[in-house]
């Protein structure tokens, strides 16, 4: 009598290699996109957190020292900015601070168009930089407010730059770096508030992206 024979089947080596190659191609196409989307989400969350942190600190300072407009000229020289820093140091968890024109609390930044923004000492003039416990780098400086889309801010306003992930790249304005303006009449105002973030796109500096990111909750530029 003949016994039934069982036929064993399996993938050939060539078939396995082709399958792995296809998986590799798909991964190479999708992983960078997934990573970029995750990074963009992190930047949005960081921007909103920074805005909330600095706004709440400002309100607390006003309870101690009066309205911002009573602080005097807050952007004219190192001494004035040092005074503002001293106010904020009472309400922010600062773990490191750097004197003006000193490296250590800021990374060389680039604008959205790829050009350099400021130096390793910060962005702007009369800068003072510091790092908070959440890893954010901050830079206070005298600023031309119209350049960051806060044209209605009066003379005497202060620029507040924040790199939401500190030393980590890309250190780029509009990506992980945003600017807020301390307006004596309105408190902390996100860059782009008064021009609807008109220059928040590739090819421009991207200095007025904060308002757009906070409003839309995403980065699409």
C-alpha separations of 221 from 118, 142, 180, 209 in Å: 22, 27, 19, 10
For residue 96, give the 3-state DSSP assignment: strand
For the chain, the structural domain boundaries read 14-216
Residue with tokens 């773990």, as numbered in its chain: 95
- Say how far apart CA 52 and CA 176 lie, in whole Å: 16
Contact 47, 178 (CB under 8 A): yes
pLDDT value, residue 27: 63
Q: Which two tokens stand for residue 96?
A: 């490191």
pTM: 0.84
Identify the CA nearest to 141 among candidates 98, 176, 172.
98
Reported confidence tier of residue 134, pLDDT bands at 50, 70, 90: very high
What value does the mean pLDDT take over residues 111-124? 94
pLDDT value, residue 102: 87
**Mean pLDDT over all residues of the chain?**
89
Q: Is the pLDDT of residue 111 over 80?
A: yes
Is residue 25 classed exposed, middle or buried when 0-12, 13-18 and 19+ CB atoms within 10 A define those classes?
exposed
Task: Say what percent of the chain tops pLDDT 90.
Answer: 65
Identify the CA nearest to 111 among candidates 47, 177, 195.
177
What value does the mean pLDDT take over residues 180-201? 95
- Say how far apart CA 112 and CA 187 lie, in whole Å: 26
- CA 136, 142, 147, 148 torsion-angle sign: positive
């Amino acid at each position: 009598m003949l016994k039934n024979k069982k036929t064993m089947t399996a993938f050939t080596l060539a078939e396995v290699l082709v399958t792995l190659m296809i998986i590799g191609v798909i991964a190479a196409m999708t992983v960078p996109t997934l990573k970029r989307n995750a990074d963009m989400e992190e930047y949005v969350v960081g921007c909103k957190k920074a805005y909330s942190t600095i706004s709440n600190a400002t309100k607390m300072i006003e309870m101690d020292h009066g309205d911002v407009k009573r602080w005097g000229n807050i952007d004219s020289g190192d001494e004035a900015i040092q005074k503002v820093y001293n106010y904020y140091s009472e309400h922010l968890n600062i773990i490191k601070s750097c004197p003006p024109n000193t490296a250590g609390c800021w990374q060389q930044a680039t604008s959205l168009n790829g050009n350099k923004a400021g130096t390793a000492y910060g962005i702007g003039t009369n800068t003072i930089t510091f790092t908070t416990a959440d890893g954010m780098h901050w830079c206070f400086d005298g600023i031309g407010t119209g350049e960051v889309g806060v044209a209605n801010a009066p003379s005497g306003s202060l620029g507040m730059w924040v790199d939401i992930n500190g030393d980590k790249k890309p250190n780029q304005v509009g990506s992980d770096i945003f600017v807020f303006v301390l307006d004596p009449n309105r408190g902390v105002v996100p860059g782009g508030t008064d021009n609807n973030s008109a220059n928040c796109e590739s090819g421009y500096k991207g200095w007025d992206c904060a308002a757009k990111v906070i409003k839309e909750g995403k980065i699409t530029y």
